[in-house]
Structure 1
Amino acid sequence: MERSTTHHQFVGPKSRLSPLALMVMMAFPVIAAEETDDKSRAYARNVVEFESDLLRLDNGSKVDLSRFSYGSSASPGIYRVNISVNGEEVAQEEVEFKAGDNRQVYPCLTPRLIQLINFNEDKLPSEVKQALSSPATCSNLVSVIPEAKFEFDSGDQQLNIEVPQIYVHRTARGAVNPELWDSGVPALMLGYYVNGYDSQYSSGGDSRSLYASLNAGLNIGAWYFRHNGSYNWQKDIGGEYNTTNTYVQRDIAPILGRIILGEYNTSGQMFNSVPFIGAQVSSDDRMLPESQRGYAPDIRGIAKTNAKVTVKQLGNIIYETTVPPGAFLINDLYPAGYGGDLEVTIQEADGTTQQYTIAYASVAQLLRPGTQRYSMTAGKIRNTGISDEPMIYEATYMRGISNIFTGYGGVQVSENYQAYQLGLATGSRLGAIAIDATQSTSKLGNKAGGTKSGQSYRITYSKLIDETNSNITLAAYRYSTAGYMDLLTALQTRDAAQNGYDPNNIWRSKNRFTVSVNQGLPEPWGNIYLSATLENYWNSGQGYNKQYQMGYSNNWKRVNYSVNVSRSQSSNGNEQTNWYLNLSFPLWDAWESHTPYMSLRYNQDNNGGKSEQAMISGTLGDQNQYNYNLSGSHDSQSGTSANIGGGWTSSIATINGGYSTGKNYHSTSLGLSGALVAHSGGVTLTPYNSDTYALIEAKDAKGAKISGYAGTSVDRFGYALFPSLSPYQMNSVSIDPEGSSLDVEFENTAQKIAPRSGAIVKVKFNTNKGSPVLIASSFAGENLPFGADVLDESNASVGIVNQAGAIYARVREDKGTLLVKWGNDIGSSCKVSYMLAPTTGDSQASHIQQFTSPCTPVQGPVSSGPRTEMASTH
Structure 2
Amino acid sequence: MIARRWGAVAVSAVLAMPLGAQPIRSEAPTASPLAVRIVPLEATVNGLKVGTWTFVERQGQLFVGKDALDEWRLEMRPGTQPIAVRGAEYWPLDSVPGFSFKVNYSQQSVEINFAPEAFAATRLAQPQVATRLSPVLTSFFVNYDLNLQATKVRDTQTVNNLGALVELGTSGRWGVLTSSHVGRDLSHSKALDSGWLRLETTFTRHMPEINRTLRIGDSATVPGLWGSSVYFGGVQFGTNYTLSPGLITQPLPLVSGVSAAPSTVQLYVNDVLRKTTDVPAGPFVIENFNEPMGSGEAKLVVRDILGRETVIVQRYFTSGQLLAPSLSDWNVAAGSLRRGIGLTSNEYGPGFASGTWRRGLTNLVTVEARGEFTADTQTAGVGLLAGLPFDFLGRAALAGSTASRRGSGQRWLVGAERQWTDSAVFFQATGASRDFVELGRPIPSKLEWAASAARDLGALGRVGFNLVGVERFEAPSITTASAQWSKRLPKNSWLNVNLSRAMRGSSASMLGVSVTIPLDQQRVVDTAVNAHKGGTDFYASATSNSSIDLDFGWRVLGGRINDEAHAEAGLYYGGQYGRVYSDLSASGNQQTIRGGATGGIAWADGHTFFTKRVDQSFVIAEVKGYGDVGVGLGSYPTTKTNADGIALVPYVSPYQANQVRLNANDLPLSAEVESIEQVVVPAWRSAVKAQFAVRSGKAALIKVEFDDAQAAPAGAVLAIEGDKEEFYVARKGEAYVTGLQPSNVVKLTWKNRACSFQVKLPAAANDEVLRLGPYRCMGVAR
Same fold (TM over 0.5): yes
Report the alpha carbon displacement of residue 788 of structure 1 after superposing the two structures with TM: 7.1
Aligned match of 1:696 in 621, 637, 653? 621
Letter matched to residue 315 of structure 2 = A
Q: In structure 1, what is the equivalent of residue 166 of structure 2?
A: 214
Report the alpha carbon displacement of residue 550 of structure 1 after superposing the two structures with TM: 0.4
**Matches of 1:539 and 1:749, distance apart in 2:** 66
Letter matched to residue 340 of structure 1 = G
Secondary structure of the residue that 2:477 maps to in structure 1? coil
Secondary structure of the residue that 2:296 maps to in structure 1? coil
**Matches of 1:667 and 1:554, distance apart in 2:** 36
Aligned match of 1:511 in 436, 444, 448? 448
| Cα pair 2:479 2:502 within 8 Å, conserved | yes
Letter matched to residue 477 of structure 1 = Q
Q: In structure 2, what is the equivalent of residue 313 of structure 1?
A: 269
Secondary structure of the residue that 2:294 maps to in structure 1? coil
| Cα pair 2:670 2:697 within 8 Å, conserved | yes
**Matches of 2:331 and 2:778, distance apart in 1:** 72
Q: In structure 1, what is the equivalent of residue 774 of structure 2?
A: 854
Report the alpha carbon displacement of residue 293 of structure 1 after superposing the two structures with TM: 4.6
Give the RMSD, CA atoms, in angstroms: 3.8
Letter matched to residue 535 of structure 1 = G
**Matches of 1:350 and 1:740, distance apart in 2:** 54
Cα distance change of structure 1 residues 637 and 783 upon mapping to structure 2, 3 Å threshold: farther
Q: In structure 2, what is the equivalent of residue 561 of structure 1?
A: 494
Secondary structure of the residue that 1:728 maps to in structure 2? coil
Q: In structure 2, what is the equivalent of residue 671 of structure 1?
A: 596
**Matches of 1:526 and 1:801, distance apart in 2:** 73
Report the alpha carbon displacement of residue 477 of structure 1 after superposing the two structures with TM: 0.8
Q: Do residues 606 (structure 1) and 532 (structure 2) align?
A: yes
Q: In structure 1, what is the equivalent of residue 110 of structure 2?
A: none
Cα distance change of structure 1 residues 805 and 644 upon mapping to structure 2, 3 Å threshold: farther
Deviations 1:304-360 (A, max 9, x none): 555544432111222344445566554433352333232345555565566544433
Deviations 1:112-169 (A, max 9, x none): xxxxxxxx9x9799xxxxxxxxxxxxxxxxxxxxxxxxxxxxxxxxxxxxxxxx9xx9
More moved, 398-407 vs 300-309: 300-309
Q: In structure 2, what is the equivalent of residue 199 of structure 1?
A: 151
Cα distance change of structure 1 residues 262 and 725 upon mapping to structure 2, 3 Å threshold: same
**Matches of 1:289 and 1:788, distance apart in 2:** 52
Q: Do residues 721 (structure 1) and 642 (structure 2) align?
A: no
Q: Which aligned pairs between 1:21-60 and structure 2 lie closer than 5 A?
A: none
Cα distance change of structure 1 residues 536 and 303 upon mapping to structure 2, 3 Å threshold: same
| Cα pair 1:834 1:853 within 8 Å, conserved | no
Q: Do residues 252 (structure 1) and 207 (structure 2) align?
A: yes
Cα distance change of structure 1 residues 292 and 819 upon mapping to structure 2, 3 Å threshold: farther
| Cα pair 1:195 1:671 within 8 Å, conserved | yes
More moved, 747-756 vs 354-363: 354-363
Report the alpha carbon displacement of residue 688 of structure 1 after superposing the two structures with TM: 4.0
Q: Which runs of 5+ in 1 are unaligned?
A: 1-119, 126-165, 493-505, 862-874
Secondary structure of the residue that 1:487 maps to in structure 2? coil
Letter matched to residue 551 of structure 1 = W
Q: Do residues 766 (structure 1) and 726 (structure 2) align?
A: no
| Cα pair 2:358 2:366 within 8 Å, conserved | yes
Report the alpha carbon displacement of residue 292 of structure 1 after superposing the two structures with TM: 1.9
Which entry has the higher C-alpha Rg, 1 or 2?
2
Deviations 1:757-809 (A, max 9, x none): 23322111222333344456666666667787654332143877677865444
**Matches of 1:424 and 1:749, distance apart in 2:** 52
| Cα pair 1:374 1:398 within 8 Å, conserved | yes
Q: In structure 2, what is the equivalent of residue 707 of structure 1?
A: 632
What number of residue pairs does the alignment pair up? 655
Q: In structure 1, what is the equivalent of residue 3 of structure 2?
A: none
Deviations 1:414-457 (A, max 9, x none): 33333333333334672231322131214162xxxx21311221
Aligned match of 1:552 in 486, 501, 505? 486
**Matches of 1:824 and 1:546, distance apart in 2:** 93
| Cα pair 2:293 2:319 within 8 Å, conserved | no
**Matches of 2:563 and 2:499, distance apart in 1:** 20
Q: In structure 1, what is the equivalent of residue 297 of structure 2?
A: 341
**Matches of 2:653 and 2:663, distance apart in 1:** 21
Q: In structure 1, what is the equivalent of residue 423 of structure 2?
A: 470
Q: Do residues 290 (structure 1) and 243 (structure 2) align?
A: no
**Matches of 2:387 and 2:658, distance apart in 1:** 33
Q: In structure 2, what is the equivalent of residue 521 of structure 1?
A: 457
Cα distance change of structure 1 residues 580 and 175 upon mapping to structure 2, 3 Å threshold: same
Secondary structure of the residue that 1:430 maps to in structure 2? helix
**Matches of 2:763 and 2:546, distance apart in 1:** 43
State, as a whole percentage, how many aligned pairs show the same letter: 15
Letter matched to residue 610 of structure 2 = L
**Matches of 2:127 and 2:180, distance apart in 1:** 32
Q: Which aligned pairs between 1:3-402 and structure 2 lie closer than 5 A?
A: 173=126, 175-177=128-130, 180-182=132-134, 184-201=136-153, 203-233=155-185, 235-236=189-190, 237-270=192-225, 271-288=227-244, 290=246, 292-299=248-255, 306-324=262-280, 328-347=284-303, 355-383=311-339, 389-402=349-362
**Matches of 2:308 and 2:435, distance apart in 1:** 59
Cα distance change of structure 1 residues 836 and 401 upon mapping to structure 2, 3 Å threshold: farther
| Cα pair 1:694 1:762 within 8 Å, conserved | yes
Q: In structure 2, what is the equivalent of residue 438 of structure 1?
A: 398
**Matches of 1:257 and 1:661, distance apart in 2:** 51
Q: In structure 2, what is the equivalent of residue 4 of structure 1?
A: none
Q: Which runs of 5+ in 2 are unaligned?
A: 1-66, 73-118
Deviations 1:464-510 (A, max 9, x none): 0x5xx2244xx1312213246452355x4xxxxxxxxxxxxx46251
Q: In structure 2, what is the equivalent of residue 413 of structure 1?
A: 373
Cα distance change of structure 1 residues 673 and 825 upon mapping to structure 2, 3 Å threshold: farther
Q: In structure 1, what is the equivalent of residue 744 of structure 2?
A: 816
Q: In structure 2, what is the equivalent of residue 131 of structure 1?
A: none
Cα distance change of structure 1 residues 579 and 292 upon mapping to structure 2, 3 Å threshold: same
Report the alpha carbon displacement of residue 218 of structure 1 after superposing the two structures with TM: 1.9
Q: Do residues 646 (structure 1) and 597 (structure 2) align?
A: no
| Cα pair 1:787 1:803 within 8 Å, conserved | no
| Cα pair 2:259 2:283 within 8 Å, conserved | yes
Cα distance change of structure 1 residues 489 and 833 upon mapping to structure 2, 3 Å threshold: closer
Q: Do residues 748 (structure 1) and 668 (structure 2) align?
A: no
Letter matched to residue 706 of structure 1 = V
Secondary structure of the residue that 1:702 maps to in structure 2? coil
| Cα pair 2:445 2:473 within 8 Å, conserved | yes
Cα distance change of structure 1 residues 395 and 632 upon mapping to structure 2, 3 Å threshold: same
Deviations 1:191-216 (A, max 9, x none): 23222222245524223333433333
Deviations 1:36-88 (A, max 9, x none): xxxxxxxxxxxxxxxxxxxxxxxxxxxxxxxxxxxxxxxxxxxxxxxxxxxxx
| Cα pair 2:388 2:394 within 8 Å, conserved | no
Deviations 1:574-621 (A, max 9, x none): 4140312223232xxx4xxxx26241312231343232223142548x
Q: State the structure with bigger RCO (CA 8 A, min sep 6), 1 or 2.
A: 1
Cα distance change of structure 1 residues 577 and 630 upon mapping to structure 2, 3 Å threshold: closer
Secondary structure of the residue that 1:729 maps to in structure 2? coil
Secondary structure of the residue that 1:437 maps to in structure 2? strand
Letter matched to residue 560 of structure 1 = S
Q: In structure 1, what is the equivalent of residue 96 of structure 2?
A: none
**Matches of 1:411 and 1:857, distance apart in 2:** 87
Cα distance change of structure 1 residues 286 and 124 upon mapping to structure 2, 3 Å threshold: farther
Q: In structure 2, what is the equivalent of residue 482 of structure 1?
A: 433
| Cα pair 1:379 1:391 within 8 Å, conserved | yes
Q: Which structure dedicates a bigger proportion of its chain to strand? A: 2
**Matches of 2:362 and 2:211, distance apart in 1:** 21
Cα distance change of structure 1 residues 536 and 640 upon mapping to structure 2, 3 Å threshold: closer
Q: In structure 2, what is the equivalent of residue 454 of structure 1?
A: 410
